[in-house]
Structure 1
Amino acid sequence: MKNKLKFTLCFTIVISALYLSAATKYVSKTGANVPPYDSWANAATTIQAAVTESGVDDTILIGDGTYYPTNQIEIMGNRTVISENGREKVVVDGSATNRCFYLSENATISGLTISNCYTHRDGGAVFLDDGIVSNCVFTHNSADYWGGALSFGSGGVVQDSVFNYNTLSKDKGGAIVVFAGGLIRDCEFNYNSSTNYGGAIYCYQGGTVENCSFTRNSVNSSKGGAVSCYKGGGISNCTFDLNYSSSYGGAAYCYKGGEFISCTFNTNYSLGNGGAAYLNGGGILTNCTINKSSAAGLGGGVYCVDDGYLQNCTLYDNYSDEHGGGIFIAGGTVDNCDIIDNDSAGYAAGIYCKDDSIIQDCLIAENWAVENAGGVYIETSCTFRRNTISNNFAENGGGIMLNINTLAENCLINANRATQHGGGAYNHGATLQNCTIANNESGWSGGGVYSYTGIVVNCILWNNNKEDYFNTGSEILYSCIDGWTNIQNGIITNDPAFYSETSFKLLDGSPCLNSGTVLSGMSFQKDLDGNPRVVDGKVDMGCYQGAIPEPVLFINFCLLFLLYYRKK
């Protein structure tokens, strides 16, 4: 019994000691300024005095008013500085002469408006070295270098905060500079600006940004109107609206790394290249939507070079004053993207690609180029596979214009229009292999294909409005061509027997089944549906391998009948 009482007494003493060790210090404009500042009546009149008097795990509670610290306030050791009545009621003003806060060792500031702070470098208002900033407003802060409002050190968290009108005069990060280990989430960035990289945020070799919005941020002499990443940085579930760059990347710029995941870019602008984003040397866009953005240079939506990567993205209604209304890419990859309803004043309203780029599994539709290549322009040396090019418009090459050292394979090129030559495709030295080119129109010649030089093999060219044109430097092999008279080299002219006017899969009994020629490397290819291109050592003409079997047709008929009966 005595042992039990001793244990209970010891436990009570320990808990009481822990409880008593965490105290609250008060700050008020009308306090008596009597240490230890343990009541509103005896509150400190400056934040620094209360912080100095506090201990580890203490809370410094700030009353309403505007406070003017004369020096940087250093907070560490798990202390929390928080307003009594919210961030609208407490303003910390740096008088344009000093940084306001230095946070470390898990220190926290919350519920403050921090304004008019200045330092030469590393965060005009706050330097965050493994601390937490929560539910604050940063406005009209500035620095010369590295973070107009805030700079991270080794780590930390910024959350539920607003950054407005912060500026950086000479370098990077109009509002924030973040490094590996830093986390920014659920924040708003409006009207921030920098001279160099990142009008709002500069990510240096890492950092994570989640669920944030960026509106009307700008970079005045360099790249990344809202966010710029160097050798890392992960940005996810963010929105970018009306951001501006005087150089590259109206909203985003990545150099040698950085990834944007599930972000939305709307109405951003670049005076140079990349209206919404500029990916250089490995930047990645995944599951992003880019719309209504524009560039005075190349790439109205995205400019992508040197291993930049776009995957599962949608780009629509973007515009370039030069080439590539949706995307300009040189040495990168575009995978499984929808590029729709973009415009360019020059070539390629959809995609302009060159320099060993890869374009695969994309829908490129309803794009409009003032000059050539309504959907796609391939300058040289690109891989172009399993893409659908539909309802695009240009002077020449309504769907696609191709040049030397390029293979376009297993593509559907349908219902495109050119006012002059090549309604579907204008070929100048490339190979079109296993493509279906149907229902295209041209004003002059080559309704489906206008081929000055190059090879067309295993293709179906059908129901295009003008006779296809093949110059003496071109070859046409093992293909099905509507109205063709030079029957040789595996050419057939029989109706290919498409499933319907809008579905270009082949029916059983189609003359195009098993009528192509198997070429080197084809055993590794897949058709437009992702099925093996070669089956039992044979290959079909067109973009699909195999026929729709009769049982499937019967099932489809039954389903249509049931739908009709149900409506009746």
Structure 2
Amino acid sequence: MSVIGFVLSVNFFTSTVGVAHTLYVSLSGSDEPPYSDWDSAATSIQSAIDAAMEGDEIQVADGLYALSSPIILHKSVWLRSANGADECILDGGGMSGYFSISSRAIVDGLTMKNGAGVCLDVSDATLRQCVIDYLDSANAWSGAEFNSCIISNAHTISCGNVVFSNTVIGGEAAMPPYVVMNSTGGSNTLKDCRLINVYLDGVEPQPNRAWRLEQCEIVGLVMVGPTHLSGQMTGPGQLWLNETIVTDAAITNLNVLDSHNAQFWNCWFEMNMGSAPYLRLTAGAEGSYSNTLHNCVLKNVEIGFSSSPFPVSTHLWHLDGCEIVESVTVGPIGLSGQITGPGYLWLNETIVTNMSVTNLNAVNVYGAQFWNCRFEMEMGPEPYLKLRSGGEGVFSNTLHNCLLRNVEIGFNLFPFPVPTQPWHLDQCEILESVKVGPACISGQMTGPGYLWLYETIVTNAAMTNLNAVNAYGAQFWNCRFEMEMGPSPYLKLVSGGEGPYSNVLHHCRLKNVEIDFNVFPFPMPTLPWHLEQCEIAGQVQAGEILLSGFLSGGGLLQLNKTSLRGVTVSNLHDLICFDASISNSIVCDSPGRGIQLSGSSLLTHSRIVGNSGGGVFCDGGGIVRNCLILSNHANSGGGVLLDHGLVESCTIADNSATEGGGVLSVSGGEVINSIVWNNQAPSGSNWWESGSSAVWSYNCMAPGNPGMNNLAADPQFEPGTYRLEASSPCIDAGLNQGWMTEAKDLDDRARVVNGQVDLGAYEYIFSTSDYDGDGLSNEQEVNQYGTDAYRRDTDADGMSDSIEITAGCNPSDENSFFGLVSQSNAVDHAVSENGFVLSWYSAHSKTYQLSRADNLANGFTAVIAQGIPATPPLNVYTDTTAQAEAQYFYRVSVEVP
């Protein structure tokens, strides 16, 4: 059996005595020792090696050297080809056996191929510009160096402390086959090498093995097993790591870096050129793999993005103290660790756990989940770390038990509508400041920081112990606001801006809350809040704002320079006002006092009904005007408890108390132009004084009062209402006041009719009169048409009520009116059909006349058509007599029988 091999045990040259000689090998030589020229050249390489001395040079002529026995090089000689590896080929013939080469030398410019078994064995030797092709396996031991070589289609190379420089390793063929390089211990170095379909340490893992790749290019696929890897690697190929530890590496422009249980320490990942904009870090297999990056820098990288079909739980990445530069995109994987900026992080259906994210420019999120994370901006190009969301579909992002400090959520990023940007914050803590832009949020948020909301929709949220919630055009649905503990006793809801912002709370609960309480210097009209079906628990204070809605609950509401308009307040324990303004509101069913007024507070055009602690308490001041105070009960002052203050033009009826069923004066005040009637109390059924006397004038109450122009007669209310009958003595019995000129009564009609104000909250309407001069009597307007008897144009559409009724329009609907609504040139090509097409709203059973003028000063003298029947809802008519290029004015009229 033949054994074919090339044994090259190569050592560094040692110092020798004597002169180096050159020996020659040629297939055409005469094979005459000492092989000193080409003519006498040895015909076999082994013969020249045997004849050579230490330090000699052996030159090999061009040719194909078919080996019949191993080559053993055991001397420090220089074995080189005459014209390079392409011309000098050593062929093992593919026979069973190996190239056994065990000598110390320099081998330069040879091609070695077609061997079996351990074909190449190298130690303390240098191979330069050699081609190693189709060898079964090779051993490279300590001190071996491959320089400017090509190693392709070799099955396995075992390496220990070996250096490869400027070497191409691997084959162009699709793997397998590929070159397997196993480390047998120590550190192996590849400098400026090109790797094509190579497997490092993938077959027989050994302890203490390491690979250093310095400025190496990866082409095709390089797979690395459980070893240590370092250096600088570039693409455009793919790198696969399996339980690899990578340290101090720079990895750039790879197509893919696929990792399974890998660790990276102090590495740099970057894509700065290539077929794709990102270097991809991917993971996934049938089992669960965790990859860790420690103190790494990532620039234009994708992590786990559309890599494999494995579930998210099998794709785990831990980024410990990593910096993101420019952009990093993360796909449907598990992510954890500590990340810092100043770049952008993009997350697509990612699960993020126990992660700290600081100083990033933005985190852009699509359907992600965050658990026990920290988001923070300590320093950076902007004061806030941005959490953004959006996409073509509906993406929901969830933060569980997270901490947010100086963060913006969904703030002015994408043009997508708000419903595509939902965020759920579950048990999250806000430190310093968090801003939310046009987005949807929900969840549980706690303080002690500030939350800023800009055109945000908030649903099913609990906000506790925040310093403040600053809202600009926000909507809250089914939310809870509460201060249990914190830097102040109240959670502040504040609003403001350069324009009018309206904030709405629907079905929310407020406990220990301040609403716009002395926060911004903006004028009141820019700070509106609407509270719809909201519950007041504990204590709620409102500042200098505009408040509307429906409030209930057993708490206390305190108004401080607040404007309350169109509010229903039910079941509150107390409503206390300081310099506040309340209008067009209802305060009812309170277990305590309905409303308490202090300072310059004004209560007007409101109904105070069914409160168990009395209706109104004027505590040292306050004005009650044009109000109905009805069916309240208290120990003292069932309707009004007057401690200074002013009650005017009110109806106070059916209240009850121990003393002062209607009004109890304890320290003076004034009651004027009011009806105090049918109240009940053992002491003073309608009125009573227990301290300083009040001023009573122009009132209707019994028993009579010695004040000026008071009546003790029955006011004669309409049945079932507190409006006046036509025979009431209270009609025209009051004293006109300056505020009444443009004022309305409780029915929002003129406060003064017939020149003299009526007593009580309602002005009597004389049925035959026409208060607004629109041609309809008051009785017609109120009882027949339902229009406003005090306004000529109830719906403010520019046409009086009577004209609209005549034309068959709805005088209470601004979109229903009579008049031309459009005109255009006729499009029919027939000459007779040319002209103007006119249209107007029409009503059943009406007929119309159409007139035309060419000069308004001359009037509408040309009648185009008469008796035009209605074709509801729209009539269309073509004026065929109109001349081309002429200008006309048209008028449509209703024909009245």
- With the length of structure 2 as denominator, give the TM-score of the two structures: 0.45
Determine the structure 2 residue equivalent to 1:457.
672
Determine the structure 2 residue equivalent to 1:408.
624
**Bigger proportion of residues as strand:** 2
Question: Is the contact between residue 411 and residue 437 of structure 2 (CA under 8 Å) also seen in structure 1?
Answer: no
Determine the structure 2 residue equivalent to 1:560.
none
2:753 to 535, 555, 558: 535
- Cα distance in 2, alignment partners of residues 72 and 132 from structure 1: 24
Helix, strand or coil: the match of 2:741? Answer: helix
2:300 to 52, 61, 70: 52
Helix, strand or coil: the match of 1:518? Answer: coil
For 1:489, the aligned partner's letter is M
1:280 matched to 2:494? The reply is no
Residues 52-91 of structure 1 mapped to structure 2, 5 A cutoff: 52-53=300-301, 60-61=305-306, 64=312, 65-70=315-320, 71-73=322-324, 82-83=331-332, 90-91=350-351
TM-fit CA distance, 1:130 = 7.4
Distance 1:29-1:461 versus aligned 2 partners, 3 A rule:
farther
Question: Is the contact between residue 458 and residue 541 of structure 1 (CA under 8 Å) also seen in structure 2?
Answer: yes
Determine the structure 2 residue equivalent to 1:193.
446
Aligned length: 458
Determine the structure 2 residue equivalent to 1:303.
541
Question: Is the contact between residue 513 and residue 547 of structure 1 (CA under 8 Å) also seen in structure 2?
Answer: no
- Cα distance in 2, alignment partners of residues 60 and 269 from structure 1: 46
Determine the structure 2 residue equivalent to 1:375.
594
- Cα distance in 1, alignment partners of residues 605 and 641 from structure 2: 18
Where in structure 1 are there 5+ consecutive unaligned residues?
Answer: 1-24, 320-324, 344-348, 557-568
Residues 424-503 of structure 1 mapped to structure 2, 5 A cutoff: 424-443=639-658, 445-452=659-666, 453-466=668-681, 467=684, 468-470=687-689, 473-481=693-701, 483-486=702-705, 489-501=708-720, 503=721
- Cα distance in 2, alignment partners of residues 240 and 153 from structure 1: 21
- Cα distance in 2, alignment partners of residues 279 and 385 from structure 1: 23
Distance 1:74-1:414 versus aligned 2 partners, 3 A rule:
farther
Determine the structure 2 residue equivalent to 1:10.
none
Helix, strand or coil: the match of 1:521? Answer: helix
Question: Is the contact between residue 594 and residue 616 of structure 2 (CA under 8 Å) also seen in structure 1?
Answer: yes
1:317 matched to 2:553? The reply is yes
- Cα distance in 2, alignment partners of residues 131 and 448 from structure 1: 60
TM-fit CA distance, 1:515 = 0.9
- Cα distance in 2, alignment partners of residues 251 and 37 from structure 1: 54
- Cα distance in 2, alignment partners of residues 84 and 411 from structure 1: 65
Question: Is the contact between residue 37 and residue 50 of structure 1 (CA under 8 Å) also seen in structure 2?
Answer: no
TM-fit CA distance, 1:461 = 0.8
Where in structure 2 are there 5+ consecutive unaligned residues?
Answer: 1-254, 263-268, 284-290, 335-346, 769-778, 785-897
Q: Deviations over 1:64-106 (max 9, x none)?
A: 2333223254565xx9755389x9974233544x4496438xx
1:110 matched to 2:366? The reply is yes
Question: Is the contact between residue 34 and residue 43 of structure 1 (CA under 8 Å) also seen in structure 2?
Answer: no
Determine the structure 1 residue equivalent to 2:432.
172
2:558 to 306, 325, 328: 328
Distance 1:410-1:545 versus aligned 2 partners, 3 A rule:
same
Question: Is the contact between residue 26 and residue 60 of structure 1 (CA under 8 Å) also seen in structure 2?
Answer: no
Same amino acid, percent of matched pairs: 17
Determine the structure 1 residue equivalent to 2:581.
358
Distance 1:382-1:293 versus aligned 2 partners, 3 A rule:
closer
Determine the structure 1 residue equivalent to 2:401.
140
Question: Is the contact between residue 332 and residue 351 of structure 2 (CA under 8 Å) also seen in structure 1?
Answer: no
Helix, strand or coil: the match of 2:693? Answer: strand
Helix, strand or coil: the match of 2:735? Answer: coil
1:212 matched to 2:459? The reply is yes
Question: Is the contact between residue 675 and residue 699 of structure 2 (CA under 8 Å) also seen in structure 1?
Answer: yes
Question: Is the contact between residue 527 and residue 533 of structure 1 (CA under 8 Å) also seen in structure 2?
Answer: yes
Question: Is the contact between residue 281 and residue 301 of structure 2 (CA under 8 Å) also seen in structure 1?
Answer: no
Question: Is the contact between residue 366 and residue 391 of structure 1 (CA under 8 Å) also seen in structure 2?
Answer: yes
Question: Is the contact between residue 80 and residue 109 of structure 1 (CA under 8 Å) also seen in structure 2?
Answer: no
Q: Deviations over 1:429-481 (max 9, x none)?
A: 111110000000012x2110112311111111110113211466212111111
Distance 1:362-1:196 versus aligned 2 partners, 3 A rule:
same
Distance 1:112-1:100 versus aligned 2 partners, 3 A rule:
farther
TM-fit CA distance, 1:416 = 0.5
2:485 to 233, 246, 255: 246
Question: Is the contact between residue 163 and residue 189 of structure 1 (CA under 8 Å) also seen in structure 2?
Answer: yes
TM-fit CA distance, 1:353 = 0.7
Helix, strand or coil: the match of 1:378? Answer: strand
Distance 1:353-1:90 versus aligned 2 partners, 3 A rule:
same
What value does the CA root-mean-square deviation take over the aligned residues? 4.1
Distance 1:358-1:263 versus aligned 2 partners, 3 A rule:
same
Determine the structure 2 residue equivalent to 1:562.
none
Helix, strand or coil: the match of 2:757? Answer: coil
Helix, strand or coil: the match of 2:603? Answer: strand
Residues 14-29 of structure 1 mapped to structure 2, 5 A cutoff: none
Question: Is the contact between residue 113 and residue 136 of structure 1 (CA under 8 Å) also seen in structure 2?
Answer: yes
Q: Deviations over 1:541-563 (max 9, x none)?
A: 0001114749689969xxxxxxx
1:510 to 728, 733, 736: 728
TM-fit CA distance, 1:113 = 1.8
- Which structure has the greater CA radius of gyration? 2
TM-fit CA distance, 1:211 = 4.5
- Cα distance in 2, alignment partners of residues 378 and 352 from structure 1: 6
1:263 to 505, 508, 512: 505
Determine the structure 2 residue equivalent to 1:162.
424
TM-fit CA distance, 1:280 = 3.2
For 1:223, the aligned partner's letter is N
Question: Is the contact between residue 436 and residue 460 of structure 1 (CA under 8 Å) also seen in structure 2?
Answer: yes
Question: Is the contact between residue 73 and residue 100 of structure 1 (CA under 8 Å) also seen in structure 2?
Answer: no
- Cα distance in 2, alignment partners of residues 262 and 360 from structure 1: 19
For 1:308, the aligned partner's letter is I
Helix, strand or coil: the match of 1:92? Answer: strand
Residues 87-106 of structure 1 mapped to structure 2, 5 A cutoff: 90-93=350-353, 95-96=355-356, 98-99=357-358, 102-103=361-362
Question: Is the contact between residue 458 and residue 517 of structure 1 (CA under 8 Å) also seen in structure 2?
Answer: yes
Distance 1:91-1:73 versus aligned 2 partners, 3 A rule:
farther
Q: Deviations over 1:513-565 (max 9, x none)?
A: 11111123321322111212122321000001114749689969xxxxxxxxx
For 1:114, the aligned partner's letter is F
Q: Deviations over 1:184-234 (max 9, x none)?
A: 4233222x322233xxxx11xx7331243313x422xx624xxx11xx633
Q: Deviations over 1:349-376 (max 9, x none)?
A: 1x2011x32111110001122xxxx111
Q: Deviations over 1:321-350 (max 9, x none)?
A: xxxx2x20111211110011112xxxxx1x
For 2:628, the aligned partner's letter is L
Mean CA deviation greater in 463-472 or 526-535 = 463-472
- Cα distance in 1, alignment partners of residues 385 and 759 from structure 2: 64
- With the length of structure 1 as denominator, give the TM-score of the two structures: 0.69
